[in-house]
Structure formats: structure tokens, C-alpha cells
Amino acid sequence: MDSRIKKMASIIVNYSCKIKKGEKVLIECIGTSALDLVKALIEEIYKAKGIPFVIYGINSITREILKECNADQLKAMADYDLYRMKEMNAYIGIRAHDNVNELSDIDSEKMKMFSSNYSWPVAEYRIKNTKWVVLRWPNNSMAQLANTSLESFENFYFDVCNLNYKKMSKAMDALVNLMQKTDIVRLKGIGTDLTFSIKGIPAIKCAGEMNIPDGEVFTAPVKNSVNGKITFNTPAIYQGFTFENICFEFKDGKIINATSNNTERLNKILDTDEGSRYIGEFSFGVNPYITKPMKDGLFDEKISGSIHFTPGSCYDEAPNDNHSSIHWDLVYIQTPEYGGGEIYFDGKLIRKDGKFVIDELLQLNPENLK
């Protein structure tokens, strides 16, 4: 077995999830290309004296279920999966999709029903009550999204995912401290001039303990404080459809105007529930190996020199009292290749064109994290 896979399994089990003797661990693998990682995880869990459980899913099968599903069926499915999840101490989710667009032609109302009645209730319990980590897997589908060969993508993937997270975690402390002292944030760039407050909301660092790859520091805006406009410059897949050129206009926290390459479909998502037109997360991406989007949110939200701004539910760790059945990370890159941009904290420039410019944050620039 590839030594890089064994290293990743060790990171997940011993660093991310910190599995202890007797703990039950659910491994969920969506797709069939990550068998070697599943085997390596089982081996590492046993070494840690934990108890592994494994389930598989395939999106083409999920698609068939969703075609004619109803709310009662989805609630019953959620009850079944919640029963199993409540027995677990930890969850490892491997996303090895053969086709990320497999659900793109499912009726939007069916997808809304699926999210509200099944996927979010299960995910919400897992997030709040287990140790968890979610990761992608380097297969041909992901290599195609990245416009590269499978071999090149695998090399990129393991550089990204097996980096020194302890070093990254230490470097994040200064940004956490600064965010917790900050009131007003301003974002400026092409098609973007946005202000909001983060006063009184915790800042949380993510360095390999819940997502792999990782590399972000997040908080949330005060719910009603967001005003202005933001134009996202990365594509974003939601429910199997690729959105591009998403632009939001805010007034007192609410998205009052939203456009994209499919404005009607976008607004249906934003009308999912009362909280879906408000923002639940604001985050900095700092992974030094991720420099361009590849239409995968788990990678794209960590792009060095980016931020993401998330319609939908907040996290309990950084609460702003916004609740929704959606949580959609949308990415705005500010490196020179993507038009540049500036971020101000209480009127002081802290990042320009994707690089931190104040002394206490220079260690988070990519040349210092590799």
C-alpha cells in the first residue's frame, strides 16, 4: 500500500479524531475508489484500540431514490441513520464521487426535500455530537475537475493533505486573536465592497481536525450587520449543478438580490427557509498548496488568499443565531491572478492581494507555511 495513504490514515485517526480505546468509529465512503484508505483506516483504528464500522454509498443509487422520493420516506431514512450515528463516538466521511454532477438533473424541490428531511438532520447531529473529519479522495473524477492527470493530482493531493498541521495551527493563533478583537470587517475587490461586524463572535482555527485538506480560520458576521455587495469569482457546485458568477447584494444582513449563471435556480436555494438568505460563516483560507479552484468546496474554501462567505446555518462554535437547513461555502479569491482585493479590520489594512501585510500575520502567508 502507498505509504502516503498510511500516513493519511494515521493523521485522521490519531490527530484529527484522536481515537481512544473502546470508541466506535463510523467510516462512510461515498464511491468505490477509496478502498485502500478504508483498509488503512480500519488498521489504524484497531491499533488505537477503537472499533471500526463501515458503510458505503453511491450517488447514482441515491439519484434513483431521489427521483420519486417523498418526505415521509426521507424522514424514515434519517431516523435509521440517526439511530446508527447515535451509537458512534467518531465519524470519518470519505467523498470519492465518480461523478460530482450525478444529482444535477434531480428536481430542485426534491433536492430541497432531501436536504431538509434527511441530509441536514443527520449531518447536524454528527457535527454536534461526534468527533468527525470529512475528506475527498483523489480519483479520476477529481483529476478531471482539476484539469490534470490522475498521477499529478495524486501528488498535489497528498502534498495538500499531509502537510504539517501542527505548524499551521500555531501560526493561526495570531489571526484568531486579532479576529476576536475586531468589530468591523470590510472586503474590497472587483465587484465587491462589503462591510459587516464580527464583534463578540468567537474565531475558530481549523488545522486538520475536522476537514482534510484543512487550513481556515472562521467566525460569523453579526446576523443583521452585512451590507454591500460581493461577487464570487470561483464556480460552486450545489446539488450537482455548477454555479458561476454568483453576486449577492445585502441590506441589514439579508441577501436582497442574487444573480448567477442560473439566477432562478440560485434564488430557489436561497428561499429554502428563513435563514438561507443570511450568512452563517465568514472564513479565511490559508492552505499554501491550494492556489486555484477545482469545483470542490472542501478544497476551494482552503485556497490561500481566499475568503468564503456562507449563506445558511452558523456553527455552534461561532454562533450568530442564524439557523437553516443549508450551509453553502462560496469562495472569493483575492490573489493577483483573480483580480486582487483588500481586507480591512476596523479600518486597518490586514491583507492585500491575498497576502497578509501586518507583522503578526506574516507567518500565515504561503511561503512560511510550506
What pTM, to 2 d.p., does this model score?
0.77
Q: All 3 cell numbers of residue 113?
A: 426535500
| DSSP, residue by residue, 248-266 | EEEETTEEEEEESTTHHHH
Q: Residues 214-251: pLDDT tens digits? A: 999 999 999 999 999 999 999 998 888 899 999 999 99
pLDDT score, position 145:
82
Residue 64, exposed/middle/buried by CB under 10 A (0-12, 13-18, 19+)? exposed
Domains of the chain: 3-161 (3.40.1830.10), 165-369 (no CATH)
Q: How far apart are CA 122 and CA 132, in angstroms?
A: 13
Q: All 3 cell numbers of residue 288?
A: 499554501
Sign of the Cα torsion 169, 170, 172, 178 reads positive
Q: Are 8 and 123 in contact (CB under 8 A)?
A: no
Predicted confidence band at 172 (pLDDT cuts at 50, 70, 90)?
very high
pLDDT at residue 329 greater than cutoff 90: yes
Three-state secondary-structure class, residue 55: strand
pLDDT score, position 159:
86
36-42 long-range contacts, CB within 8 A, separation 24+: 36/1, 36/2, 36/5, 37/5, 37/8, 37/9, 37/94, 37/137, 38/94, 39/1, 40/1, 40/5, 40/6, 40/8, 40/9, 41/9, 41/12, 41/13, 41/92
